[in-house]
């Protein structure tokens, strides 16, 4: 892969390592971007983190607040408030803190219940508080990536068209769509939606899909498993996406209740990052080949 391809890894992919270890491991594997996870910044100096990232040549990519869902979520940290206004205030404070790292985006999500038969809600609560979050971000020169979560995970806003409607209702220029291969790979009409709304996408997270998925936290490296990532990446490239490709892997080692025998989270982080980089390089090369074949038709 060309060094010009902006590849990053989100810190949620390595839940047991510190931010200091993440930076060292990223540097040793040639990764250029790190999606900071605010939960790893507890008790550390933000100034020192920013200085070390700069020294390592790392860009803060898609940074995740401690509470990143507007509506209560099954992945909330212990003690997270359920009141929407309290959650709004926490997210706004997180945006202000993460702004110190000059992130590509701060990623938040409307919310998901974990149960497709009982999706999270109400949507009106999301639309009510999102302008306040967007304005707090704009005051610090930060863009928001509003993540499109999966219908099969009980998402409040499960389709790209619906999420575009929410962004339009908010009416803030600094709010765009975070697209995740994991969450949207099985949506009907996905490639048409990617072409139609590519200009609204300001961040992309990549992984692939296990077949079968053994639990809710069982993602695969790009190009493996169902192998859907390269074709989706190809469509994004064709549609004009030129931003960061950020890897995000959830691979339960018992943290969320399931001990997967081949959990990536149980691997030494540096080994995981090297394997992930190799898988991404191969998937990106396949995506470029798909684009070339489409262009030749």
* 92 assigned to some structural domain: yes
Is 119 a residue whose pLDDT tops 90? no
Convert the pLDDT of each residue in 22-48 to its tens digit.
999 998 888 999 999 999 999 999 999
Residue 159 has pLDDT above 70, yes or no: yes
32 inside domain: yes
Write down the mean pLDDT value for the chain. 94
pLDDT band at 116 (very low <50, low <70, confident <90, very high): confident
Say whether pLDDT at 7 is over 60: yes
Whether the per-residue pLDDT at 1 is higher than 60: the answer is no
Please give the tally of structural domains in the chain.
1
Six-digit token string for 148: 């499109």
Other beta carbons within 10 angstroms of residue 50's beta carbon come to 16
CATH code of the domain covering residue 246 = 3.20.20.150
Answer whether residue 2 is part of any domain: no
Domain extent, residue 134, equals: 7-296
- pLDDT at residue 176, as a whole number: 97
| 111-115, 133-137, 160-164, 279-283: least confident range | 111-115
Is 154 buried (19+), middle (13-18) or exposed (0-12) by CB count in 10 A?
buried
Q: Is the pLDDT of residue 223 over 60?
A: yes
Q: What is the pLDDT of residues 43-86, one digit of tens each?
A: 999 999 999 999 999 999 999 999 999 999 878 888 999 999 99
Considering the domain boundaries, does residue 1 fall inside one?
Answer: no
pLDDT digits (tens, 9 = 90+) for 244-290: 999 999 999 999 999 999 999 999 999 999 999 999 999 999 999 99
pLDDT of residue 152: 86
User: Has residue 3 got a pLDDT over 80?
Assistant: no
Is residue 155 included in any domain, yes or no? yes
Mean pLDDT of 147-166: 90
Does the pLDDT of residue 172 top 70, yes or no? Answer: yes
Percent of the chain with pLDDT over 70: 99
Q: What is the pLDDT of residue 184?
A: 95
Is the pLDDT at 2 greater than 50, yes or no? Answer: no
Residues 6+ apart with CB under 8 A from 295: none
Q: Is residue 104 part of a domain?
A: yes
DSSP string computed for the chain: --TTS-EEEEGGGSTTS-HHHHHHHHHHTT--EEE-BGGGGTTS-HHHHHHHHHHHTPEE-EEB-SS-BSS--TTPPTT---SHHHHHHHHHHHHHHHGGG--SEEEEB--B-S-TTS----HHHHHHHHHHHHHHHHTTT--EEEE---GGGTBSS-SHHHHHHHHHHHT-TTEEEEEEHHHHTT-TTHHHHHHHHGGGEEEEEE-EE-SS--SSSBEE-TTSTT--HHHHHHHHHHHT--S-EEE---B-BSTTS-B-TT-GGGS-HHHHHHHHHHHHHHHHHHHHHHHHHHHH-
Calculate helix-pair angle for 123-138, 84-98, nearest 10 degrees.
30
Q: Is residue 148 part of a domain?
A: yes
Asked if the structure places residue 110 within a domain, the reply is: yes
92, 102, 89, 91: which is closest to 141 by C-alpha?
102
């Amino acid at each position: 892969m060309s060094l010009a391809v902006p590849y990053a890894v989100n810190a949620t992919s390595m839940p047991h390592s510190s931010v200091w270890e993440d930076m060292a491991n990223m540097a040793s594997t040639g990764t250029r971007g790190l999606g900071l996870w605010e939960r790893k910044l507890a008790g550390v100096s933000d100034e020192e983190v920013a200085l070390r990232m700069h020294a390592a040549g790392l860009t803060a990519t898609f940074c995740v607040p401690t509470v990143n869902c507007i509506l209560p979520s099954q992945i909330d940290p212990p003690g997270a408030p359920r009141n929407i206004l309290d959650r709004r205030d926490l997210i706004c404070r997180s945006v202000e803190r993460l702004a110190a790292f000059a992130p590509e985006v701060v990623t938040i999500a409307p919310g998901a219940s974990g149960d497709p038969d009982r999706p999270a809600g109400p949507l009106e609560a999301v639309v009510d508080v999102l302008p306040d979050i967007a304005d707090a971000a704009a005051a610090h020169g930060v863009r928001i990536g509003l993540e499109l979560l999966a219908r099969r995970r009980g998402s409040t806003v499960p389709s790209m068209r619906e999420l575009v409607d929410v962004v339009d209702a908010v009416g803030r220029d600094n709010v765009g769509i975070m697209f995740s291969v994991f969450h949207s790979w099985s949506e009907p009409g996905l490639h048409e939606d990617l072409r139609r709304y590519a200009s609204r996408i300001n961040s992309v997270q990549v992984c692939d899909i296990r077949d079968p998925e053994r639990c809710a936290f069982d993602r695969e490296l790009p190009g493996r498993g169902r192998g859907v990532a390269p074709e989706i990446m190809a469509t994004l490239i064709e549609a004009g996406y030129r931003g960061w490709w950020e890897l995000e892997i959830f691979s339960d080692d018992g943290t969320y209740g399931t001990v997967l025998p081949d959990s990536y989270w149980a691997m030494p982080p540096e080994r995981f990052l090297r394997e992930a980089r190799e898988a991404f390089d191969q998937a990106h090369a396949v995506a470029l080949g798909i684009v070339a074949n489409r262009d030749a038709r």
